[in-house]
Amino acid sequence: MPSAEPAPVPSDLPVPSDLPGPQVRLPHSWDEARARAYNCVVPLPAHSVSLDQGIGRILAQDITALQDIPHYASSAMDGWSVAGSPPWIMAQTGLRLTAGQAAPVVTGGLIPAGAKAVLRSESGRLSRDEDGLPVLVLSESARPGEPKGGQHIRRPAEEASAGEVMVRSGQRLNPVHIAVAALAGLDEVRVLGQPAVKLVFTGDEVVSAGLPGPGQVRDTFSPQLAAVVRMLGGSVLEQQRVADNLAAMTAALEDRVEDPADVIITTGATGRSSVDFLRAAVAGLGGTMIIDGIAMRPGHPTLLAEFPDGRLLVGLPGNPLAAMMGLLTVAAPLLARLGSRELPALGEVFCGSPIPESPGRTRLLPYRLVYGLASPTKFADSGMLRGLAAADGVMLVPPHGAKMGGTVTAIPLPWQLP
């Protein structure tokens, strides 16, 4: 007898589409999802790091000179510290000079008290006076009037006075700023918090080298995601591949002391079929969904969840372009807020071709600017990357489409930002 009940779905097979098609309303519009990702967290606290760890970080406190820089008068030339007019007799090193005395000095060396100038070695020569005593005289190559008062002496506080601000808070620190911090007398700098990110890639069919066989695909995430996450302000702690099963994903998402990530970004397994185990792993670890599906294409399965210990998870779809669009929509604002930065600015472009409606979803289309007009690139299906590689930005086409010549919002690409 045929049963009235539907046949049970074997647990190892994908459930046929209960994923959102055009008829299913996804919980968040693109704008809502982006705002939610920014607003669901607070900035990580500022902290002190050693100077070498400070490069590239954003300064959370002015760098102030702890003493005068330089803090003593020093010579800018190899030669002699001198007082009064030539000839000079040699004084004992370390003692105060009186008029008519000189003492040898090297570049950077301490200028003795009483010295009025430095005579560089080319401009002086050792000689003897009428009594046969050694004296320093001007050489033939000395310039007229040399040495002038204060010549070749680096005065104290010439570069900064004690207490003077040398680098302002808010500055992204380059290597020279770090050298200035050392000059100011600091051993550490206080910087804004920076989210630490762990990347977790799924896909048993994914191969990381060579040519993939039938049913396999070459990994397009590990070569690029860490770099893009860094451009978005995250520091990448590690990248990990996990097998396509619940236990492996659960283990990768568990909190570990040796792996203190603020944010975990996963790729793949975002579908709602029984083989897509990401949601099950999040639920099993007591996680809460903050964003579970976005009315956008590609990238609609992108999710954002929070674990009970405060760690965040961004789940990106496995399709390569969809993942990048999820990254720009959810990870970019999340990392910006955690790192105390503004919500990344959006731009506007003029649309170079009419784009038909697509009810219920925002389309994210990589575009190229041609004569000032933005035209969608080719090769921009969800599973492709060529279109994004060639793009000048990504257009946000609203559900009702766009007219040729009309303005549309555009997301700048992280690798094209100044």
Ligand X SMILES: Nc1nc2c(c(=O)[nH]1)N[C@H]1C(S)=C(S)[C@@H](COP(=O)(O)OP(=O)(O)OC[C@H]3O[C@@H](n4cnc5c(N)ncnc54)[C@H](O)[C@@H]3O)O[C@H]1N2
| Binding residues for ligand MOO (CB under 6 A) | 297-301, 317, 319, 322, 382
Among ligand X, ligand MOO, none, what binds residue 162 when CB lies within 5 to 8 Å by partner kind?
none
Residues that bind ligand X (CB under 6 A): 17, 19-20, 201-203, 205-206, 217, 219-221, 267-271, 276, 298, 300-301, 317-320, 322, 382-383
Among ligand X, ligand MOO, none, what binds residue 112 when CB lies within 5 to 8 Å by partner kind?
none
Pairing of strands 296-297, 362-370: parallel
Among ligand MOO, ligand X, none, what binds residue 276 when CB lies within 5 to 8 Å by partner kind?
ligand X
Q: How far is the CB of 359 from ligand MOO (least distance, A)?
A: 15
Amino acid code (one letter) for 277: F
Q: How far is the CB of 323 from ligand MOO (least distance, A)?
A: 8
Both structure tokens of 382: 């969800």
Residues 225, 227, 230, 234: is their CA dihedral positive or negative?
A: positive
Q: How far is the CB of 356 from ligand X (least distance, A)?
A: 19
Among ligand MOO, ligand X, none, what binds residue 206 when CB lies within 5 to 8 Å by partner kind?
ligand X
Q: Give the CB-nearest residue to ligand MOO.
A: 322
Q: Which is nearer to ligand X, 201 or 367 (CB)?
A: 201
Q: Which is nearer to ligand X, 79 or 301 (CB)?
A: 301
Q: Which is nearer to ligand X, 119 or 385 (CB)?
A: 385
Among ligand X, ligand MOO, none, what binds residue 48 when CB lies within 5 to 8 Å by partner kind?
none
Q: How far is the CB of 317 from ligand X (least distance, A)?
A: 3
CA atoms within 13 A of residue 151's CA, in its CB half-sphere: 17
Between CA 43 and CA 62 the distance in angstroms is 19
Between CA 41 and CA 37 the distance in angstroms is 8
Q: Which is nearer to ligand X, 57 or 241 (CB)?
A: 241
Is 231 exposed, middle or buried, given 0-12, 13-18 or 19+ CB atoms closer than 10 A? middle
Among ligand MOO, ligand X, none, what binds residue 193 when CB lies within 5 to 8 Å by partner kind?
none
DSSP code, position 28: B
The number of residues in the chain equals 418
Using DSSP, how many helices (H) and how many strands (E) does the chain show?
8, 26
Dihedral of CA atoms 67, 52, 192, 415 in degrees, nearest 10, equals 130
Q: Which is nearer to ligand MOO, 81 or 319 (CB)?
A: 319
Q: How far is the CB of 299 from ligand MOO (least distance, A)?
A: 5
Q: Which is nearer to ligand X, 219 or 292 (CB)?
A: 219
Between CA 53 and CA 205 the distance in angstroms is 38
Q: Which is nearer to ligand X, 107 or 274 (CB)?
A: 274
Contact 66, 183 (CB under 8 A): no
The three-point CA angle 328-284-279 to 5° equals 35
Q: Which helix (H) or strand (E) holds 226?
A: helix 225-231
Q: How far is the CB of 330 from ligand X (least distance, A)?
A: 14
Between CA 100 and CA 118 the distance in angstroms is 13
Between CA 336 and CA 235 the distance in angstroms is 12
Q: Which is nearer to ligand X, 270 or 377 (CB)?
A: 270
Q: How far is the CB of 228 from ligand MOO (least distance, A)?
A: 17
